[in-house]
Amino acid sequence: MFKTWGPEDVSGQNQVKSSVQRGIKTSILETYPRLEPVMKDIWPKDGNMVFAKCKDHVSMVVVDKVPIFFQQRDGPWMPTLRVLHQYPSMMPRVRVDTGAIKFVLRGASIMCPGLTSAGGRMEKVEKDTPVQVLAEGKEHACAVGIMTMSSDEVTSINKGICIDHIHYLDDGLWKTKELS
């Protein structure tokens, strides 16, 4: 989704009322309950929060000019990789084998065999759950995406796309450190 994305793709930035901010924060904490103790560090109460609307129906939470979460249409709020690298335990992990890494870093969706082979690994997750994707032998996530089938279905079917790939290292959102 962010392969060719850049700051020029932001169509509008608006400050939002505190009630809308609370609603977004509550939605994020419902999706990622492990963030509860550190949410004040990620999103300080006195931080300048802006809601950015981008092309392809993407909404973004920007705190002090730094994008921290994004959402496509009415999907779940997803963290940027920069936030995920600071708080790696916030969401379930899947690991792809070494053969899939080059495809993941080019923006391809992740196929079932990449997770079920010897180098792959999965936590128990349900369909439509946001996950972080780690490369075999690395400790930080290289992508975030949404499971298109549950982990049980991935192991039993072992064919087709299992993770819709949304944001990965070196895409447009990764290269954008700040929005002005």
- Arithmetic mean of pLDDT over the chain: 92
Mean pLDDT (whole number) for 28-40: 93
Q: What is the pLDDT of residue 7?
A: 87
Mean pLDDT (whole number) for 17-33: 93
For 71-103, how does the pLDDT look when each residue is reduced to its tens digit (9 = 90+)? Answer: 999 999 999 999 999 999 999 999 999 999 999
Alpha-carbon distance 6 to 164, whole Å?
A: 21
Alpha-carbon distance 97 to 121, whole Å?
A: 8
Reply yes or no on whether the pLDDT at 1 is more than 80.
no
Output the pTM of the full model.
0.89
